[in-house]
Amino acid sequence: MTFHNLFIAHERSEDERQWLAQEIAEQQVRYDGIVAAMEALAPQRDVWYAEFLQRIQERGYNTDGDQRTRIKLADIPLRPDRPHKVVY
């Protein structure tokens, strides 16, 4: 099955095009605000990650009821060398 057979040809009126452009612009403004907030939160997020990684090495996490499993340092994944992404 090919996807080009699923496309329904249609025409947009000028009002529809304007409305769509306005909606896209508003969504972009909201997205830019979220990205800015995520970037401002980056230093605190790094602290949270470090606290979490230390906690699962020292205390572990609950695997069943009151049983805990500690994570060895060798099993901790390396931090990715890229910024966080905001996906919408």
User: pLDDT tens digit string along 25-83?
Assistant: 999 999 999 999 999 999 999 999 999 999 999 998 888 888 989 999 898 888 888 88
Cα→Cα distances 20→7, 8, 33, 84, Å: 19, 18, 20, 28
Model pTM score: 0.64
The pair of structure tokens assigned to 2 is 């090919």
The pair of structure tokens assigned to 61 is 């996490």
